[in-house]
Amino acid sequence: MSIVAVNPSTGEVIKEYDEMTPAQVNEALEQANRMYQDWRRTSFAERAGLMRKTAQVLRDRKEEFAVLMANEMGKPITQGRGEIEKCAWVCDYYADNAEAFLQPEIIETDASKSFVAFQPLGTVLAVMPWNFPFWQVFRFAAPALMAGNVGVLKHASNVPGCALAIEDVFRQAGFPEHVFTTLLIGSKQVNAVIEHPHVKAVTLTGSTPAGKAVAAKAGQVLKKTVLELGGSDPYVILEDANIEEAVTTCVTSRLINSGQSCIAAKRFVVVEPVLEKFETLYVEQMRQRKMGDPLDEATEVGPQARHDLRDELHQQVMASVEKGAKVLLGGEIPDGPGAFYPPTVLTNVTKGMPAYEEELFGPVASIIAAKDEADAIRIANDTVFGLGAAVFTRDVARGERIATYELEAGSCFVNAFVKSDPRLPFGGIKESGYGRELSHFGIKEFVNIKTVWVK
C-alpha cells in the first residue's frame, strides 16, 4: 500500500510513500517504549532546552514548511507562515511553564506529608487532521513531551510530507530518536495501534465520526482520550453591535484556512433590526477576498484540501438551497483544475437544512435571522456541536454575560473571532468532543495525577 500526496491546486501527484507494515509499526512502538523509560527521567531543564531549540528550527524553516503546506493541502502561504510561528510559540510556552504546571501540589491532611504528583503516562498516540498539519500536532506534542511522555503520530494521509517534516524538526532540534515518531499508516491500522500495550493514551483532532470511532476503540481497552472534533460555531450579532467591525471579524473568521477550520465562524445568527445591513456588508467583503494559487502572496482563499471534500461541501449547499436557502454570493464550482470553491453566502437558512444542522467545512457562510437576543441565543445553542461561539455587542457587560452564562461552547469570545492560544484551554462540549488542550489544563490531560501519602 502507498500513501499519496496530491496537490489540491492542480490535482497532480506530488509524491508517493510506502505505508508502514504492521511489523514496522510494532517495532516503532517498541522503540518508543524503550525510549520512554529514559525520557521520563530527564529533567525539565533538559526537556525545555530541546523544546526551545525546536522552536528555533521551526522559525528557521518557516518558509520551507509554509510552501509544503501550500502544496500538500492548499493553505495560503501567508497563513502557513503564521501557523509555523504559532507552533514555535507553543514550544516556547511549554518550555517556559511546564515545570511550574507540574510541580507537586501539597495538600494538608492527617498525614505527616501528602501531596499530588504529576507523572507521565508513556506513549501517547496522536491521530491528527490535515487542515492545520503542523499546529495541531505541536499543540499536542509540546505539552506531552515536556511532561515526560513520548509521542507517536498518525497524521492525515494527504499530508505525509508534513508528518515526516515534523519528526525531522524534533530530530534536528536534538531530541533523542524515538521520543517523537511518525507512523506512515492509513486509518485501517489505527485500531491495532490503540490496542498496542505500549500505547497509554490517544488524542484525536478531526471529525465527530472519527472521534466516536477512536473513543469506542480506546474505551474497549480503557485508554484515556482527548477529542477535539467538529464545530458549527455560531456568531451572534445583536442590534447594538458595531456592524462594520463585526462583519470584518466574521468574514475573516469564516475564511481562515479557506474555511477549513473547526473553530471558523460558520453560522451567523443576526437579530432582525440589523439583518439587512449585515447581509449587505458581509457579501461585499466576501466578494473582495481573492481566491487562487496558495503560493501567491495575495491569495486569501486557496483550494479545498481534496476534490471529494469540495464536492461534499457543494452538495450541502445545494441541499440547503433545495430546502429554501437563498444564495447571495458564490455557490458554484468554478471551471478549471483544482479543488476550488468560492466564498459563498447563504441566507434564509432555517432548521432542517445542512447549512443549519451540519458543519460546512469550507468558505460558506450561513446567515440565520433571529427575533431578539433570547431567540438568537436559542438558535446559537440549537446544535449538536459546542466548540466555539462569539457574540457582538457594544455593551461589553452584556456580551460577557452571554458568553459566560448563555452560549454552550468550550470557547466563547466577545467582539472577536474564536481562536486557540497556548495560554488558554481549548476544546469542546457535546459532539465537539471532550478534554482540553493547551494551558496548564492541557499538559495535565496525559499525566498520572498521583496521590502520595506519607505517615
Q: Classify 123 as helix, strand or coil.
A: strand
Count H helices and E strands in the chain, helices first: 15, 18
| Cell reading at 89 | 510559540
Contact status, residue 417 vs residue 400, Cβ threshold 8 Å: no
- State the Cα–Cα distance between residues 166 and 157, nearest whole angstrom: 14
Is 228 part of the annotated catalytic residue set?
Answer: yes
Q: Count Cα atoms within 13 angstroms, Cβ side, for 9.
A: 22
User: Which is nearest to 133 in space by CA: 80, 176, 178?
Assistant: 80
Is 72 part of the annotated catalytic residue set?
Answer: no
Q: Give the DSSP letter string of 24-81.
A: HHHHHHHHHHHHHHHHTTS-HHHHHHHHHHHHHHHHHTHHHHHHHHHHHH---HHHHH
Lookup result for grid cell 479543488? 339
Contact status, residue 384 vs residue 280, Cβ threshold 8 Å: no
User: Catalytic pick from 19, 262, 357, 437?
Assistant: 262
Other Cβ atoms within 10 Å of 272 Cβ, number: 13
User: Catalytic pick from 83, 167, 228, 357?
Assistant: 228
Q: Count Cα atoms within 13 angstroms, Cβ side, for 92.
A: 12
Other Cβ atoms within 10 Å of 81 Cβ, number: 17
Q: CA geometry: angle at 80 spanning 79 and 83, to 5°?
A: 90
- State the Cα–Cα distance between residues 345 and 317, nearest whole angstrom: 10
Q: Count Cα atoms within 13 angstroms, Cβ side, for 136.
A: 27
Other Cβ atoms within 10 Å of 197 Cβ, number: 10
Q: Give the DSSP letter string of 181-243.
A: EE----GGGHHHHHHSTTEEEEEEES-HHHHHHHHHHHHHTT-EEEEE----EEEEE-TTS-H
- State the Cα–Cα distance between residues 371 and 391, nearest whole angstrom: 15
Q: Name the residues annotated as catalytic.
A: 228, 262
